[in-house]
Amino acid sequence: FEVTGPAPPPPLPAAVEVAAFRIAAEAMTNVVRHSGATRCRVEIEVSGTTFQLTVSDNGHGTDRTTEGGIG
């Protein structure tokens, strides 16, 4: 895992911090469980009032034959 972001991180509302943490934690868990990846990168970007969290990996992706869902 590699995590990148602004140093020091800007102050964010508590709700944004909690949501970002939970989303990143779930995404990293899914990478470990399902992707077969050997690398995972979590990027945090903050610009003004815009917050962006990106999680990417080098895994095999999803089975395109399954129906869509939530997750």
Model confidence pLDDT, tens digit, residues 24-65: 999 999 999 888 899 999 999 999 889 999 999 999 876 666
**Helix spans in 1-71 (H):** 14-30
Do residues 5 and 44 make contact, with C-beta atoms less than 8 angstroms apart?
A: yes
| Predicted TM-score (pTM) of this structure | 0.78
Model confidence pLDDT, tens digit, residues 2-20: 999 998 988 999 999 999 9
Q: Which residues contact 53 (CB under 8 A, 6 or more apart)?
A: 20, 23, 24, 42, 43, 44
d(CA 26, CA 65): 23
Q: Which two tokens stand for residue 17?
A: 């911090």
Residue entry with tokens 């080098």: 58
